[in-house]
Amino acid sequence: MQKENNYFRAGASMVYMMTNNDVMNQVIAFYRGMNGMLTFVGAYPTHGRGTGTKEVSSATANEGVDPLASQGALTLSRDGRFLLAVNAGSNTISSFIITDNGVPVLADVKASGGAQPNSVDVSGNLLYVSNVGNAANNFASNITGFLINANGRLTPIPGSTHSLSTINAQPAQVLFTPDGSKILVSELTSNHLSIFHVNQNGTVTGPIVNNSYGQGPFGAYFLSSGILLVTEAMSNALSSYSLSNGGILHVISGSVPNGYITACWVATTRDERFAYTINSLSGTISTYRINPNGALSVVRHITSTPPGTAPGFPMDAGVSKDGRHFYTLNGNQGTVSVFNIQEDGSLVRLQVAAWTNLPYLGSQGLAVL
């Protein structure tokens, strides 16, 4: 497997979100100005279907927000060349090439290797997708691997489909370690953190099953040091772990609560001094301080949308490549909230950007270029 480039390509600065529409899924593109503010550019079909407001399983509340119950439904490759989207309603994944002006151009659509794909990640030319499965149709949950070529075309890797810790463990995110040698899958319903070793031919072995410290492991993020951050949707908290070469996780800070409910997504500042958890049904974002050893402490909170306006239920999130701006998708509106990141990690709200004049339910996935 070729090593990934950790630097974004030169070109336009963009933010992408995904509609998850059950008739035709689309990627929505915004141009990101020097001041961080967003301007709608266009909508680009994935040629697959989302689930709309329908949940991928009965394990989560069917309120139309967070239907895929995942982080990483829309993912940029580390070098910013490719954008990957899951189509959970048609059991496919779509790949786009990002042009120099930031417009995504559809390159390929392939079957995901299972049912209801909900998260995807890329390391070098290796891509893995998690599939929730469908118990009614005897489809088990799994992960499946693909090779992605220079033109964005996807080739399934024979023998790469691998079960999770149990046949109905609902994946919430599939995530490569920074060096690409391992894959983490957070399992929302089994309370497991499964680690797979990546083989030279792109297949995986495992899983090595670790117990999550708290309940409902959901979003995950690896710091450059290899320290792992995991949100806990049911414990309403964030935990940190170190990862051994053998795939064993060791708790550093266990279930540090933020005082709000449904802590589901996590992103960090570029200098990795602060982490943000997105507490969807509370409408808030919590800031955590990350000590050099990975210990966590809560610093402050802010609402996703301005007080006195319709509350936004924030979901997926990302930070700009220059480290100056933070973005989160409001799942009950289909809007994106824009914040300036201060030196102390605090967030200053700048904008709530919309691509449609009507509230839009069911969207999922956010990627920042």
Domain ranges of the chain: 14-368
DSSP 5: P
Banded pLDDT at 71 (limits 50, 70, 90): very high
Determine the average pLDDT of the residues in 172-183: 98
Sequence-distant (≥ 6) Cβ neighbours of residue 114 within 8 angstroms: 91, 131, 132, 133, 139, 140, 141, 142, 144, 161
Q: What is the pLDDT of residue 140?
A: 92
CA 187/CA 170 separation, integer angstroms = 5
User: Is the model's pLDDT at 87 over the cut of 90?
Assistant: yes
Class of 14-368 in CATH: mainly beta
Q: What is the pLDDT of residue 7?
A: 38
Banded pLDDT at 62 (limits 50, 70, 90): low
User: Is the pTM higher than 0.85?
Assistant: yes
Average pLDDT, rounded, for the chain: 94
Tell me how long the chain is: 369
User: Is the model's pLDDT at 4 over the cut of 50?
Assistant: no
Q: What is the pLDDT of residue 8?
A: 41
CA 233/CA 237 separation, integer angstroms = 7
CA 263/CA 256 separation, integer angstroms = 11
User: Is the model's pLDDT at 98 over the cut of 90?
Assistant: yes
User: Is the model's pLDDT at 138 over the cut of 80?
Assistant: no
User: Is the model's pLDDT at 278 over the cut of 90?
Assistant: yes
